[in-house]
Copies of this chain bind each other. A is one copy, B any other.
Amino acid sequence: MSAGWFRRRFLPGGPLPEPQPAGPRSSPVPYHRPRFLRGSGSSPGAPDASRRPDSRPVRSPARGRTLPWNAGYAEIINAEKSEFNEDQAACGKLCIRRCEFGIEEDQEWLTVCPEEFLTGHYWALFDGHGGPAAAILAANTLHSCLRRQLEAVVEGMMASQPPMHLSGRCVCSSDPQFVEEKGIRAEDLVIGALESAFQECDDVIGRELEASGQVGGCTALVAVSLQGKLYVANAGDSRAILVRRDEIRVLSSEFTPETERQRIQQLAFIYPELLADEFTRLEFPRRLKGDDVGQKVLFRDHHMNGWSYKQVEKSDLKYPLIHGQGRQARLLGTLAVSRGLGDHQLTVLDTNIQLKPFLLAIPQVTVLDVDQLALQEDVVVMATDGLWDVLSNEQVAQLVRSFLTRNREDPHRFSELAKMLIHSTQGKDGAAGEGQVSYDDISVFVIPLHNQGQGSCGH
């Protein structure tokens, strides 16, 4: 990304972007469910036309199909909010090869890897909006981007401290000392690779959507195991937690217009053109009305964590840049998340106001040192927001612990647990409070940490 890119891309009056050659329009991304659901019982090509909201099927992999680390998976489609299930999932083995300079890659991920240098595993959930296309593209693409980014730095990952120069040629004898002073560790290269992979995947999705004339975006939550560590990268409002016998550890934060208010208001402060005089960047407890003009009301601006009062002017009556509360909070009245992939063409209804400048594709990455955990029956639960809207971390942990205690021997228990968690959001088992029913798409991975190395995708 070159400096000045931002303005060229988003601001009126700047130099126009290079015209793209108008090739033939490619065909739309076909809808499908994750490959590892093949043979699991219902038609993968289309939603079940006969389903009713109270009888939506919960799907999980066929019993003969083992996911990496014997992870469990289950999903449910929303209650007719959209025609398709906008969630997608992917998992598999990551085979990282050592790259020789100048040698082109031609090998496919998820195939046998005779030249593999380092292997890991990968689990990912994508929660789509505005159509299923972006989530499908992300599920098809992100692991390849990640493999490419990891292969570009894998030599540096093999030492506990990466070398200053990847080729190994030391220009300055004190190079290791500088790396030491900066505290750069091998895991920082994996974090960097995840950040770059999300960005690369977002670029790919942008090109693919444009070429096929489709629209949409998605969140992305990814867990990657490598060299004894589990990396959790999140862009959006899905969530991963570690459930231990006597501890819950939150492995991701949600990125929504509310949690990223200051970053978003800051951008609107620096570039007011992005709001096209249609929105106000200020936050008020509610949308203001004509009667409020002249009064002093609570507000906050981009630099404030606290609140203050301001005298209302007419321009404060515009629609707020971020509006609504909790689940209802929206960016530019349109979007409920502030990070994710896609949405390159998304504009506010009936305007040319773009959402993309306010969105980040970059994930936040947390690292769990699996080798250092005294493993009990530790599991990582990853799920899209539909689960967490209805169940708290504590409720999920409670369900996990009591289920695993009752089902120590069943080899399919993690898949059963994933299904059980989804059933608990449907107002049947009573784990969620009265009336707490989720009508959203929900996808859940349950990853047992003591099964490291067991099972792999594709067989």
Contacts and interface: CB of A to CB of B under 8 A. Distances in A.
A195 B285 contact: no
Nearest to A295: B165
A193 B306 contact: yes
Interface in A133-174: 149, 152-153, 156, 162, 164-167, 169, 171-172, 174
A190 B307 CA distance: 8
B165 A303 contact: no
A233 B432 CA distance: 41
Interface in A176-199: 178-179, 181-182, 184, 187-196, 199
A108 interface: no
29 contacts: A1-B269, A3-B268, A3-B272, A4-B272, A6-B270, A156-B298, A162-B298, A166-B296, A166-B297, A171-B289, A172-B289, A175-B285, A178-B325, A182-B285, A182-B325, A184-B298, A184-B307, A189-B306, A191-B305, A191-B307, A192-B300, A193-B306, A193-B308, A194-B306, A195-B304, A196-B308, A270-B270, A304-B362, A305-B365
A291 interface: yes
A260 interface: no
Nearest to A286: B178
Contacts of A171: 289, 291-292, 295
A151 to B, nearest CB: 12
A117 interface: no
B362 A195 contact: no
Nearest to A296: B166
B296 A162 contact: no
Contact of A192 (B7, B187, B295, B304): B304
Interface residues of A, number: 63
Given A166-B296, A181-B285, 16 more contacts: A4-B272, A6-B269, A164-B297, A166-B309, A167-B296, A175-B286, A181-B326, A182-B285, A184-B285, A187-B306, A188-B306, A192-B306, A192-B308, A193-B306, A193-B308, A270-B270
Interface in A1-23: 1, 3-4, 6-7
A187 B308 CA distance: 11
Given A285-B175, A289-B171, A365 B295 contact: no
Contact of A153 (B193, B309, B326): B309
- Closest 9 pairs (CB-CB, A-B): A191-B306, A192-B306, A3-B272, A166-B296, A192-B308, A178-B285, A178-B286, A188-B307, A171-B291
A285 B192 contact: no
Nearest to A294: B167
Contact of A164 (B6, B285, B325): B285
A288 B296 CA distance: 54
Contacts of A286: 164, 172, 174-175, 178
Contacts of A162: 298, 307
Contacts of A191: 304-307
Contacts of A195: 303-306
A300 B325 CA distance: 35
B269 A3 contact: yes
Contacts of A152: 308-309
A268 B196 CA distance: 19
A365 to B, nearest CB: 7
